Amino acid sequence: MTTLPDCRALDAKDPLKHLRDLFVLPEGLIYLDGNSLGVLPKTAAARVAHAVTQEWGNGLIRSWNTAGWFDMPQRLGNKVARLIGAAPGEVVATDSTTINLYKVLSAALNIAAQDAPQRKVVVSERSNFPTDLYIAESLCKERGYTLKLVEPEEIADALTADPAVLMLTHVNYRTGAMYDMKAVTAAAHVAGALTVWDLAHSAGAVPVDLNGSQADFSIGCGYKYLNGGPGAPAFVWVNPKHTERFWQPLAGWWGHAAPFEFTPDYSPAPGITRYLCGTQPILSMTALDCGLDTLLAAEPFGGMNALRTKSLALTDLFIELALRRCAGHGLGLATPREHARRGSQVCLTREHTAQGSGAFAIVQALIARGVIGDFRAGDGKLHKDILRFGFTPMYIGFEDVWNAVEHLRQVLETDEWQRPEFNQKHAVT
């Protein structure tokens, strides 16, 4: 049975503990929401201010050359590549996750239409992030395809002669359940389908090996575990065997082979660069650059493998403490206990009563105490309401886990969550 002194001892010998110093963390706050928005790197404010006052203020348009603005998508993409098992020159940082998904799913459907025109189905998980499903639904309606939604255990049976594309999020946003990317990709390929992987809850959180898994397409965001700030640019990766087969559906001048020749006809740039569209948000890219540097600072200590080891230890501890110390309060576990099937978050459920689950209000009560997680609504059927807690090992310690669970125990035992202010929903929940 793990105790508070045990947690302090684990923190004392943690080889990654000094990475916490890279971030701005308000005193007394336990931040378990890095899977929604990462913490501010200490370098970001000054670096962005420099980009505003010096690069923009003094350099003006010259900074496209002198400050390296123009090649930022590729330069930041190469940093992302080190975190997701991609090679240099295979990733660009650009646009939003949604836009990038539209690009790669369009590409996958184009290639499938050439290679297997009889295949008219896109398969995805029913509890995939809604934006991913919305984009897939839109493209399916436009192209005459069918979007088929299944539970995780049904994916193997869904890989029949019909699917053109299997589109999945590597780590589920609601449960934290993680797919075996290599095995699932191999199964899809045997069935004749291409794969599209969303790494929104993977990049910077768990080791990813896109090339080793022989994935086809992948996208991900920059504002969660990559600590790039709210609305940070996303990224896109395409297996090199596919890049030259795709005509960009959002063809823009930044994806042109010769953008400064200003020709009226579009000629796609070679490789991943063709996935760029228009002028990039330089100030946001600058902040993302700082966020990526926080991840790369872990490389001398073992990089993503070391972060993964600590992440699993943190989530193991949270599961142990929450289920033991909060027993009798209707909590359940939506996140797999198996390490190979778990991302870097823990999702608790709570049994429904006539008044509902109380999950939202419990999270709000915790936030008022300085323990920040978030809530995700269920469907009232198979998928329950979720109390979601993300564990970013760079700035979360073992004593943080103990204290977070202690606050949870108190909120439950005192019925603090039933106070009216904690049951008032806001625009963003």
CA–CA dist 139, 136 (Å, integer): 5
Q: Which of 103, 174, 224, 384 is catalytic?
A: 224
Residue among 67, 71, 80 at smallest CA distance from 276: 71
Q: Known catalytic residue: 224?
A: yes
Q: Known catalytic residue: 198?
A: yes
Q: Which of 31, 102, 129, 360 is catalytic?
A: 129
Q: Known catalytic residue: 275?
A: no
Q: Known catalytic residue: 388?
A: yes
Q: Which residues of 198-218 are buried (b: 16+ CB within 10 A; e: fewer)?
A: bbbbbbbbbebebbebebbbb
Q: Is residue 111 within 8 Å of residue 246, measured between CB atoms?
A: yes
Q: Which of 23, 145, 223, 395 is catalytic?
A: 223
Q: Which of 274, 388, 395, 422 is catalytic?
A: 388
Q: Is residue 32 within 8 Å of residue 396, measured between CB atoms?
A: yes
Q: Known catalytic residue: 180?
A: no
Residue with tokens 């709000």: 364
CA–CA dist 292, 204 (Å, integer): 9
- Collapsing DSSP states into helix, strand and coil, what is residue 146? strand
Residue among 226, 236, 235, 228 at smallest CA distance from 284: 228
Q: Which residues of 244-272 are buried (b: 16+ CB within 10 A; e: fewer)?
A: eebebeeeebbbbeebeeeeeeeebbeeb
Q: Which of 95, 132, 162, 198 is catalytic?
A: 198
Question: Which two structure tokens, joined as six digits, stand for 422?
Answer: 């904690």
Measured in Å, how far apart are the chain's first and last C-alpha atoms?
A: 34
CA–CA dist 403, 371 (Å, integer): 9
Question: Which two structure tokens, joined as six digits, stand for 4?
Answer: 């508070």
Q: Is residue 272 within 8 Å of residue 214, measured between CB atoms?
A: no
Question: Which two structure tokens, joined as six digits, stand for 358?
Answer: 């109380």
Active-site annotation, residues: 129, 198, 223-224, 388
